[in-house]
Structure 1
Amino acid sequence: MHLGQDLLTLGVLLVVAYGLGRLAKLVGLPSIPVYMIVGLLASPHTGWFPLNFESADIELIAVFGLVLLLFSLGLEFDQEEFFGNAGKLLISGGSYVLINMGIGFLFGMMVGWGTREALVIAGMTGTSSSAIITKLLIELRRLANKETPMILGVTVVGDIFIAVYLAIVSVVLSGQTEIWPIVLQLSVAFLFLVVMFTIARWGGRVVSRLMRTKDDELFTILFFGLAVLFAGIGEIIGVTDAIGAFLIGVVLGASNYRSKIERVAVPLRDVFAAFFFLNFGLALNIAEFGSVITIVVIAVVMTFALNIGSGILLARLHGMGAPEAINTAAILANRGEFTLILATLSVSAGLDHRLQPFAGLYVLIMAVLGPLFAANSERIGARMFRSAERAAVQHRERDPILDEGINLVEAATAGMEPGDDTPTKEAVDRIVEQAMQQSDDVAERRREPDY
């Protein structure tokens, strides 16, 4: 009877998630906050749902969701894009990461929860959601935009950073205090990273031969088994299951079967990821939001401010203007699954219990405001551009070329008495028109990037 009730409850929750998801799509919101809200409604802490359901009942399925989220992230890692433009990408992507993570860490220290908590908060507020970014670029039809290659490049660098960051965080959260065990664990973690990236870079043909099979069922079992296997290896050697899944995704993405894996993995990821976000919502307690709401609001404002500044910096580094800067800021501001992954890791490591409600409320707010900002960024950028044009027009009225034209008119009419050969009104208008045309030409040249 207990199993039947659990299946009934879970089925109801998924159907409710479908209904709310349809409504969310109408206003351009991603599915992440929808699943969290459904879990929050069914949470035993709220008592709003008539059927009893415990988070532990779907914990293993939620782990599969986490594994497939990171596996898909690794699968989508674009090696050619990274290694082909490594220098430029490292400068732009590295600048973004350093600015957002650095200030995020300072913010975490100001919160006063502890150094380890500050490191986690820096990751929560400083890393964008690759899944939401990719989805928004497709849904908003911006793949052909001028700034899109730059955004994707920053995302690629962010993916590499996530791998390194998780390796460091796993050591920090282990609670180890002696120096040599820490050095050993970090060495093992980085060796794992180097070996896996090396295989991905130069072992694509070997991996392709190992993956060769015409049976779709066996093919699915193989890649899913590898994702779970390497997640377990990552957990055992101390770099977390998430990074293990990410790295095997990078390796399989280098094979000839990347497209085939994606066709099968994406639906599996979406289903299991729904359980991950649902499970996270079940663990939330609305009563705890009051203790973190001020910090969350500050974090949200900080995130948008940092991303606007970062967007302007990235646009200038790539020779782009204000509209591209606003689009970049709006897309990269989106936060999501990685924040929740860090919250899950922090809970298992026994860090400050407020990190979980902080992450939950932060993602709920950002997952709503981020896509709305992205959907309206072109309109905002257009208004800013029009404001800049109006400022140029005002400057044009004081332009030296126009002043020169006015001086010509004044010189032509100065000292003339009535009855003299005074220039006609048509001649004066012609001189003024020529001066205005010259001023327009200068204003146009000033708007060009190379001016």
Structure 2
Amino acid sequence: MDHMILEVGLAIALIAGAGLLSSRLRFSVIPFYILIGMAVGPHALELWHFDFRFIQSAPLIEFMGRIGVLFLLFYLGLEFSVGRLIKSGKSIVKGGSIYIGINFTLGLMLGWIAGFPWAEVLVIAGITTISSSAIVAKVLVDLKRTANPETEMVLGITMFEDVFLAVYISILSGLVLSNSSSFGGVMLTAVIALGFMLLVLYLGRKAIPLLNRVLNIRSNELFGLVIFAMLFLVAGFSETIHVAEAIGALLIGLVLAETDHAKRIEHLIMPFRDFFGAIFFFSFGLTIDPMALGGAIWLSLVAVLITLVGNFAAGMLAGANAGLSVKASINIGFTIMGRGEFSIIMANLAKAGGLMPVLQSFAALYVLIMAILGPLLSKESKHIYKFLDKFFKFKDTAKNKKIKAATQD
């Protein structure tokens, strides 16, 4: 314990250095956080005459990483309220269904063909299906595409993914974390998890007038304490009934997004999301043995390949269904290609359930590749479109010609 503060301080300094490097290179920061964690983790060798392996502070850093997941999901819930999800429209529902259907099916096929047990297959499908909201948002802002016609579809698909994620993790956590060996016991746990999620959303919406009055607190200190209490109590209780604590955080975020105090809560939470979220990716890197990644190389490369194909196909179909141009459709597929926090959450769920350790290595390598490849392909989507147009001679409908012109960078 003598060096606890020093180790935590060193960890934060390394995270900050990784962030500065990614900013200088204008690249997604997530792979840098993971890589620096891997480089200084318990499996790393001593560098020069210093030991950066965070022996004493590892449990604390891991706990801070868990808090990071809560803030990430809580903030996501605040951004996408239940009301906004309902008003998203049929095109977004269709686009999201297309995206999830294609990528989830390919993920299931990958796990099944690779010969994994059924529980591992479900985790692999989850890892390869859900894109990173953090990376998607960063790509849209960095490339100045927030006003593009396809951006509504991109955001709609991410919202649809969040709904799918909430349902899927609720079911998967019941299946993986359940101590019951019988099918009936496992299904009962899953039903309880889903029932809890729906109950929180229903009661939360009914309680909006009450929450508006309760949160009408002038003191920022007391306001923050009340919000944090709600977040940690709901997330903590979720864990006790085999619902991932991250989903509890997402649920309370969705509920509070309906209140009159949503903007104030976002302003309060944002610094904690950024700080603890960075520690989350760093702490995940600490758990990865770089020497063990070799066992997941081929699985990761195949997963990357099918993700490229699946995202491209999903983007084209979703864009066509919404009446967007071919170029805009290509942008959709590439923009939502990055994988990050949700894939890692799936891997951590597998670890908590005692599933095969290779899933951790697979998730780490897959996320690293996709977190780099996704933003890169998005940045070069204009050139990719021109290259493909030479061979396929895309013919956009008259309805799409104006949209196509508007999406030219």
* TM-score for the superposition, normalised by structure 2: 0.91
Question: Please, which runs of 5 or more residues in structure 1 have no aligned partner?
Answer: 393-442
Amino acid across the alignment from 1:164: V
Q: Distance in 1 between matches of 2:130 and 2:92?
A: 16
Residue 137 (structure 2) aligned to one of 111, 115, 134: 134
Equivalent residues in 2 for 1:74-223 (5 A)? Answer: 74-173=77-176, 174-223=178-227
Q: Which aligned segments of 4 or more residues in structure 1 are displaced greater than 3 angstroms?
A: 78-81, 199-203, 382-389, 443-450
Compared CA separation, residues 219 and 319, structure 1 to 2 (3 A): same
With over 3 angstroms needed to count, the CA separation of the structure-2 counterparts of 1:333 and 1:220, relative to structure 1, is same
Query: Could you tell me whether the CA contact under 8 Å between 1:319 and 1:449 is conserved in 2?
Result: no
Return the letter of the residue paired with 2:54. Answer: F
Q: Which residue in the other structure is 2:42 paired with?
A: 44
Query: How many Å apart are 1:388 and its aligned residue?
Result: 6.0
The match for 2:54 is: 53
Distance in 2 between the 1:356 and 1:292 partners?
9
Contact 1:108-1:117 at 8 Å conserved across structures: yes
User: Is the partner of 1:292 in helix, strand or coil?
Assistant: helix
Counterpart Cα distance in 1 of 2:313 and 2:402: 19
Q: CA RMSD in A?
A: 2.2
Q: Deviations over 1:288-345 (max 9, x none)?
A: 1111111111111111111001111011101112210111011111110011111111
Q: Which amino acid aligns with 1:9?
A: E
Do the aligned residues in 1 keep the contact of 2:15 with 2:279 (CA within 8 Å)?
no
What displacement does 1:386 show?
A: 6.4
Alpha-carbon distance change, 80 to 7 in structure 1, aligned in 2, over 3 angstroms: same
SS at match of 2:354: coil
1:372 CA displacement = 1.1
How far is 1:200 from its partner?
A: 4.5
User: Is 1:253 aligned to residue 257 of structure 2?
Assistant: yes
Q: 1:214 to 1:386 in 2, by over 3 A?
A: farther
8 Å CA contact retained: 2:234, 2:252: yes
For 2:307 and 2:67, the matched residues in 1 are separated by: 30
Tell me which amino acid in the other structure corresponds to 1:41: A
CA contact (8 A) 1:29 1:367 kept: no
1:308 to 305, 308, 312: 312
Structure 2: give runs of 5+ residues left out of the alignment: 404-409
> Residues of 1 paired with 2:201 and 2:381: CA distance?
36
Identical counterparts, % of pairs: 34
Rounded to whole Å, the distance in 2 between the matches of 1:325 and 1:262 is: 31
Distance in 2 (CA, whole Å) between partners of 1:237 and 1:230 is 11
Aligned residue number for residue 355 of structure 1: 359
Task: Give the TM-score, by structure 1 length.
Answer: 0.83
- 1:408-444 CA distance string (max 9 Å, x none): xxxxxxxxxxxxxxxxxxxxxxxxxxxxxxxxxxx99
Contact 1:101 1:125 in 2 (8 A): yes
Query: What amino acid is aligned across from residue 124 of structure 1 in structure 2?
Result: I
Deviation of the 1:88 alpha carbon: 2.7
Distance 1:20 1:179 in 2: 46
214-223 or 43-52: bigger deviation: 43-52
For residue 13 of structure 1, report the CA deviation from its aligned partner: 2.9
- 8 Å CA contact 1:311–1:325 kept in 2: the answer is yes
Structure 2 partner of 1:417: none
- In structure 2, what is the Cα distance between the partners aligned to 1:446 and 1:351? 50
**What is the Cα deviation at residue 273 of structure 1?**
1.4
CA positional deviation for 1:40 = 0.7
Distance 1:139 1:446, change over 3 A: closer
The count of residues paired between Structure 1 and Structure 2 equals: 397
Q: Which has the larger radius of gyration?
A: 1
Residue of structure 2 aligned with 1:6, choices 4, 17, 29: 4
CA distance in 2, matches of 1:212, 1:387: 60
